[in-house]
Amino acid sequence: MCLSTTDSIYHDPETHILFASFKYVGYNYAGDMERMRENPKVQEWWRMTDSYQESFVPGAKSSADGEPAWWKGIEEVFYSP
């Protein structure tokens, strides 16, 4: 697996919403995400954190369930290195 990410997590104290972003660096996103989905430690993390999250994707049930995806992809509108 050639998976490398850089990430950031932000918290809005007024709404209590966490916003996370990451940059994927690799060659096989779908394959790398599938390997993450199969990892017992990742599954444990998802079970621990799902109750603290709300998906903006209609019909999403949890991080572990594949369709519809829990995370909603959004367009990056600003980046500052």
The residue segments making up the domain with residue 32 are 4-52
Cα separation, 44 vs 17, in Å, equals 22
Is 81 a domain residue?
no
Residue 7 has what pLDDT? 64
Q: How many CB atoms neighbour CB 42 within 10 A?
A: 14
Q: Which residue has the higher pLDDT, 47 or 73?
A: 47
Report if residue 80 sits inside a domain.
no
pLDDT-based confidence at 39, cuts 50/70/90?
very high
Mean pLDDT of 11-39: 81
Domain presence at residue 24: yes
Does residue 20 form part of some domain? yes
CB 24 within 8 A of CB 37: no
